[in-house]
Amino acid sequence: MENNINDFLNHAPDKYLYLYNRNFYSPERLDYHPEGTLGAHINITLDRAMQSRDINLVFIAALHDICKGIMNERGGKREISINDGRTFIYHSNPEHGYHAYKYIMKHKEIQDWITSYGANLRYVTTVVKLHMKHKSYMAGLKKQKNGMGAAKREEYRSKLTRYELLYLNEFAKIDNMTKEYVPNKNLFPLNEKFAF
């Protein structure tokens, strides 16, 4: 895993590596992220996406949480107690997907990095921007607490193409650190320029 990720990151632009390195040791919420840090999380999602053999998922994994450790007026440090009585502090930026999308769109070198491997910029940026909202959509489908209601789900779903929904669903499995990931080998084939 590590060599593949290192090979991939060796070709990443400085604007990406700046945030990747800056946020690498940012603490995660341990009940959702037993891996502990944002850097470990991004690397695990990258490894899982590489197992899928789909270049769009690889870039989604690399970019989805790149702005998560950056504080904004709605984010910051939060403290939480989990069932076993431990209390810990983690960084939170509820709009990190949108911030990552804006960061990608602001920096042409990141866009060029994505497209140089044959990834679809629209699919990558859509999933990066919506990956947290999609968790609420899926929770609503399962009638879980904090899930989207039926009307909002219908509105949300109506704005997505079939392929965007496919990528959002597959990436939700990649991004879930509390479950093993089993790649969907029926997705689109990885661009031949990038083999790992």
Instruction: Tell me the two tokens of residue 96.
Output: 């990190």
Indicate the domain borders of the chain: 2-175
What is the band of 191 on the pLDDT scale with cuts at 50, 70, 90?
A: very low
Instruction: Tell me the two tokens of residue 35.
Output: 């891996």
Whole-model pTM: value is: 0.86
- CATH fold, domain 2-175, is Hypothetical protein af1432 (1.10.3210)
pLDDT in tens, 37-81: 888 999 999 999 998 889 999 999 999 999 887 654 445 556 656
